[in-house]
Amino acid sequence: MNEPEFLRLDKADKPTPPETDIFAEAIPPQSEVNVEAEPPKADIPIPVGPSVTFQGNNYDLAALISIITALPFVLSLVTCGVGFYFLPFISIPLAIVGLIKANDSFDPKRTKKFCWMSLGVNGIIILLGLLAMFLFIGLSRGTFD
């Protein structure tokens, strides 16, 4: 049978085992180990800044979102639906506080973006509510004085 040359191993080509123990240098004998010596201190910089408020994976985030979405439903049940009208008035001060304290957050750019989005959406909701109220009052009187 004609074998390729790289498959043939001659006895001379086989590696010889090392004559010395390679672990002897790595592990000092028990008599040389100083038990009372302090471990070396690493010069690892400790990050300074805000700590992470929420850290988790997708399942943790799904649980957090489920709690957040359940709260308006509880508010709706407790107030017989009237509580929904007050949600923008709760959300706007929270967004303002978020804008003021955004530099202390974990990701200031994202925090500011979410706060501005909240202010915009809630402002539109309040304006539409006021418009609907004025239209209702105006149409019920018959004029828009």
Does the pLDDT at position 11 exceed 60? no
Is there a domain that residue 122 lies in? yes
Q: Which residue has the tokens 């949600």?
A: 87
Is there a domain that residue 31 lies in? no
More confident residue, 41 or 88: 88
- 94-139 pLDDT per residue, tens: 889 989 988 888 788 888 998 999 999 999 989 998 999 888 888 7
Is there a domain that residue 47 lies in? no
Does the pLDDT at position 4 exceed 80? no
pLDDT of residue 127: 93
Angle of the 87-100 helix axis to the 108-141 helix axis, nearest 10:
150
pLDDT of residue 76: 83
Task: Report residue 91: phi and psi, to 5°.
Answer: -75, -35
Which pair of structure tokens corresponds to residue 20?
């010395």
Per the structure, how many domains does the chain have?
A: 1
Q: Give, in order, the Cα–Cα distances in Å from 2 to each of 8, 11, 13, 14.
A: 10, 19, 19, 21
Is there a domain that residue 115 lies in? yes
Is there a domain that residue 89 lies in? yes
Contact between residue 86 and residue 74 where contact means Cβ atoms under 8 Å apart: no
- 20-56 pLDDT per residue, tens: 666 666 666 666 556 666 666 667 766 666 666 666 6
Contact between residue 112 and residue 102 where contact means Cβ atoms under 8 Å apart: yes
Does the pLDDT at position 84 exceed 70? yes
More confident residue, 62 or 42: 62
Q: Give, in order, the Cα–Cα distances in Å from 60 to each of 54, 63, 134.
A: 9, 5, 44
Is there a domain that residue 66 lies in? yes
Q: How many angstroms separate the CA atoms of 47 and 109, rounded?
A: 19
pLDDT of residue 119: 92
Which residue segment(s) compose the domain that 124 sits in? 58-141
* Angle (CA) 60 63 107, round 5°: 55
Is there a domain that residue 123 lies in? yes
